[in-house]
Every structure is written in C-alpha cells, then in structure tokens.
Amino acid sequence: MFLKNTWYVVCSSSDLTDKPLGRTICNERMVFYRDEHQHVAALEDFCPHRGAPLSLGFVKNGQLHCGYHGLVMGCEGRTVAMPGQRVKNFPEIRTFAAHEQYGFIWVWPGDPARADTALIPHLEWHNNPAWAYGGGLYHIQCDYRLMIDNLMDLTHETYVHANSIGQPEIDETPCETSVDGDRVVTSRRMYNIPAPPFWRMALRGNGLADDVPVDRWQICRFTPPSHIMIEVGVAHAGHGGYDAPDSHKVYSVVVDFLTPETETSMWYFWGMARKFKPDDAELTQSIREGQGKIFSEDLQMLERQQQNLTRHAGRRLLNLNIDAGGAHSRRVIERLLKTD
C-alpha cells in the first residue's frame, strides 16, 4: 500500500526545533531531532531499554535522551550512554535517511542505502524572490489515495467549494488526462467565464479588475509517491489565457504533499506558491487563510468517505471519465509497489 523507497515530507523546517518530534509515516513510528550540527536525524521511536517512545524525551548537546530512564541515543541507532549502566551490548534500533531541503524535513522510510536526495522534487518557488509561499498542515483520517483522487479530479469544486473556487463551468468543461511514465497530468481550461470568489480576491490583490470575464486553468500534476502540484490561475479574457502576460493574470501553484500515516490516516502538507506581488505579506496571509478554508471543506467529505468505505469494504465503486487522473495515479503506485 505504501511506497517505502521514496521521499515523504515529515514537517516544515521550522517545526523541528530543539525538541524531538514523533511522527508515524507509512505505519513506521519515527522520531526526528537535530544533532549538534543542526542536521536532521531520524530513528525508530523505540527505546531499546523498555520500549518507551523516544519522542517523549529531550535533546541535549545534539543527543537524544529517553524521557523514561535517561538512556542516550546516537544518530546511528546505537546507545551512547545511560546513567549507572554499561550500554556496550545494547541492541541497535532502526535508523531512517532524513534530509532538510526547500523548507521541509524529508524522510525515506525504506532502505537508507537507496536514499538519493536528487529524487526530492524541485520546488522552483523556494527562496525565489519572484514567488511568495504560504501553507499549512492538516491531519486527516483517510487513506492518502482518497486525497490523490480528490486533487486529481477538481470537478468536486462545483459542489464542495461552491462559495470559494467552485462554479458550474467546471462541470461543463471536460478535462484531459495524459500519462508519461510515472507522471500523470489532468488539465481543464475554461474560457470567457466569471471568476469565482477566491479568484476575484486574487485579481484585486494583483491590482486587476475582478468584474470582467476571465480565462481559467487547472493543471494537476501527480508524481509518485503522492506529490501533486496544481497550476491554477485566471487571466482577463482575450489576453491568451494560461499564456497571458503577467500584467493580465494571476498565476499560482497549489502545493500538495501527501504523507501516509496509516492505512486510514495521513499528513496533508498544503500550500500555494504565487507568482505575483511576492512582497505583499498581507496578500500572502489572505491567500493562505482562503486556501486553508478551501482545503478544510474537503476534510469532512474525505473522512466520512473513509468511514463509508471501511464500513462497506469490498463494495464496488464506479469509475467515470472525471476519475481518470486519480485512477491513472493509483495504477502508477500499484506498478511501483511491485518493485519497491
């Protein structure tokens, strides 16, 4: 169910401070902390003495101390010391490859020897003065693949997000889906339509009229294991749509990192990187709040959907043309699981 030999987001860099952080990822209980050089270390969240969670301990001089009896763990999974005890023969615990990049902490739950930081997806907007970014985290009680389905089929916007980004024209415009190796792209382009509330706010934020027809685009790009980047935006109609000059459009990338916790729960790292008015902190906050509200509207639907699927395990579901993006993404995951 989970691809293990790949990178997942653990937390934002700012969330890993001077205390250990416990997190379950792909059914593996892990603890993360910074060593004396501020590098990220990741261990099994299990003290070899009595099995206590190491995440309930503390970090001192770059070493992780168990909060139960003071056992000190090294970054390599070996016990370094324990008050009044000889620790030479203590069993090692499992370690995980971890890396800090693009403002996130990443972990490789599989074989550390296969971990390659070059496989971390490139984030063009990070530390780029032409871009601004704001985001957050939701802990959701659903299979991460349900969120993949949700993000690769934005038809639901008309109904779940009726007061923010939804509009009838989404239903009326067919989407196109393509597969290139392990990547899946679903796109929809709408022309000469009214802008929904969220995008009217974005147009005003960029100093553009919000009461004129626009061209709108949604381009959802899935990359395994569960990373989805969605190019979104609107442009004043008649100026080229997606290819319109910056002076006539608002362009953003919705950033979605889905990290499985268990079979029925996940960590959802969401955000929006925008390529207009990057120095406007107030606009960044407004967009972040708006986007956070939009994503919160999905939570109840996804969690109740998971409850239904658990209650009716094995019940056949329908696949329609609007489900193509999610269906192809799931096939990519299933294929890669056979060789992971």
Whether residue 108 contacts residue 9, with contact meaning beta carbons closer than 8 Å, is answered with no
pLDDT at 85: 82
pLDDT for the residue numbered 291:
85
- According to the model, what pLDDT value does residue 186 have? 96
Q: Determine the residue type at 171.
A: D
pTM assigned to the model: 0.94
Flag residues of the chain having pLDDT under 50.
none
Domain 132-337 in CATH 3.90.380.10? yes
What CA–CA distances, in Å, run from 100 to 105, 106, 255? 5, 6, 17
Determine the pLDDT at residue 328.
Answer: 95
Domain limits, CATH 2.102.10.10, in the chain: 8-112
Identity of residue 276: F
The pLDDT, as a whole number, for residue 170 is 81
Q: What is the pLDDT of residues 90-145, one digit of tens each?
A: 899 999 999 999 999 999 999 999 999 999 999 999 999 999 999 999 999 999 99
261 C-beta neighbours (distance < 10 Å), count: 19
Position 282 scores a pLDDT of 93
Helix (H) or strand (E) holding 302: helix 281-311
pLDDT of residue 236: 97
- What is the rounded CA–CA span in Å between residue 153 and residue 177? 10
**Count of Cβ atoms closer than 10 Å to residue 282 Cβ:** 9
Supply the pLDDT for residue 219.
96
Give CA–CA dist 274/262, Å, rounded: 32
pLDDT at residue number 160: 72
Which neighbouring-strand residues pair with 214? 193, 236
The CATH code of domain 8-112 reads: 2.102.10.10
Give pLDDT, residue 165. Answer: 82
pLDDT value of position 154: 82
**CATH 3.90.380.10 in the chain, residue ranges:** 132-337
Token pair 């003290």 is found at 47
